[in-house]
Amino acid sequence: MVDLEFWGDLAQKAFVNGFPSTNWANRMVEPWKGLPFGPNLHAVRPQRLRTLTGPVEAPQDSLWSRLQFFAAAEPVRHTEDQLDSALFAKLPIDVRLLIYEEVLGNMVFHLEARNNGTQIVKEICCRPDLIDEPIHQCHISNPRKSPSFSGNGNQHSSSLLPLLLTCRRVYSEVIPILYGTNVFEFRQGKGAFYFLRLMLPPQRLANIRHFRLHMRLPHHPHINSRSRRDWETMLMFFTTEMPALNKLYLRLLTNYITETQITETDDVDGAEWTKPIMRMVVDVQRNRRCHVKFVTPGVSGGVAHDCIGIFKETAKTTGLSPQERLIELASIALHERIRVSIEGPT
């Protein structure tokens, strides 16, 4: 097994203690202490959502901030029946829901954190059919300059906010559709958990059914205690905090250091970091039929691992039934597949 302790807690302490300037040494080791998304994942969720600031005619990319503002008022604002409106008086709810879904559902949102991670902006995918391609470039380069999108019916993206602002009853009917029928995709773990944990109110987090995350690992997820904590909490988050999640795409992006640490770890020891993945995939599949696509680096840009298939195969070949032992053996098999996919053909 590769000596992860070289990068671990004791090595960090020794490094910091060995320098006259403790502050400088602490700054040097800080990136190694945990995973990039850790601070957002473990931050205390705000009790009161911050209110909307800025002009009323805020740009298109402020959508999430405005929704955050509206959500803060949801439990206290009274919703009028609006029965003088033909929309509510003449159309039944199931027809209205179909209309709402047609207008602002079934899209893929590429989301990104800006302004030092405190603002989430979106681009709407023009090629959702190519979403699994290793290099996926589909959208216009600068959505701030052009809030209108072209291609594949995405022209309705610019109508997201006006429909939501029609009236409070429309808002309350539409908002679960917005979160429940669209795909939310992040290419940064840090921004993703700012959005999921600190920006979205719990009732909206509970609406999301399809989430995609491309996660960069600057080092091995079990390199030290804080990284291990971040890694395991992140996987548990999908199990416990997103009850409607029905499809999860999780892609790991690694550098040379991480890949070396993974491939030089034997599979039995390596199962310590694949076990939380296996446990999460089995739990969400059993509890709510959530399908997880887990991708690691490999030939042609990435290798998707069939975790449920590995789990079932392990159960079949060993004849074991205790869940924990099965998870452990399946995690060893998963580590082997990840290691081999990174090493490539010999």
Task: Give the binding site for Zn ion (CB under 5 A).
Answer: 125, 138
Measured CA distances, 124 to 106, 160, 192 (Å): 11, 11, 16
If the CB atoms of residues 154 and 314 are measured against Zn ion, the closer one turns out to be: 154
Cβ density class 205-225: b for 16+ within 10 Å, e for less: bbbbbbbbbbbbbebbbbbbe
Nearest one of 102, 106, 126, 122 to 114, comparing CA atoms? 122
Distance CA 257, CA 253 (A): 12
Residue type, 214: H
Residue 228 beta carbon to Zn ion: minimum distance, rounded to whole angstroms: 33
Taking CB atoms, the residue at the shortest distance from Zn ion is 125
Residue 116 beta carbon to Zn ion: minimum distance, rounded to whole angstroms: 25
Distance CA 2, CA 180 (A): 43
Helices 323-343/307-318 angle, 10° precision: 120
Distance CA 188, CA 112 (A): 7
If the CB atoms of residues 280 and 295 are measured against Zn ion, the closer one turns out to be: 295
SS3 313: helix
If the CB atoms of residues 138 and 192 are measured against Zn ion, the closer one turns out to be: 138
If the CB atoms of residues 131 and 206 are measured against Zn ion, the closer one turns out to be: 131
Residue 157 beta carbon to Zn ion: minimum distance, rounded to whole angstroms: 12
Residue 131 beta carbon to Zn ion: minimum distance, rounded to whole angstroms: 6
If the CB atoms of residues 125 and 248 are measured against Zn ion, the closer one turns out to be: 125
Residue 149 beta carbon to Zn ion: minimum distance, rounded to whole angstroms: 11
If the CB atoms of residues 152 and 158 are measured against Zn ion, the closer one turns out to be: 152
Residue 178 beta carbon to Zn ion: minimum distance, rounded to whole angstroms: 18
SS3 111: strand
Residue 102 beta carbon to Zn ion: minimum distance, rounded to whole angstroms: 20
If the CB atoms of residues 59 and 151 are measured against Zn ion, the closer one turns out to be: 151
- Sign of the dihedral defined by the CA atoms of residues 156, 59, 113, 301, in that order: positive
Residue type, 275: K
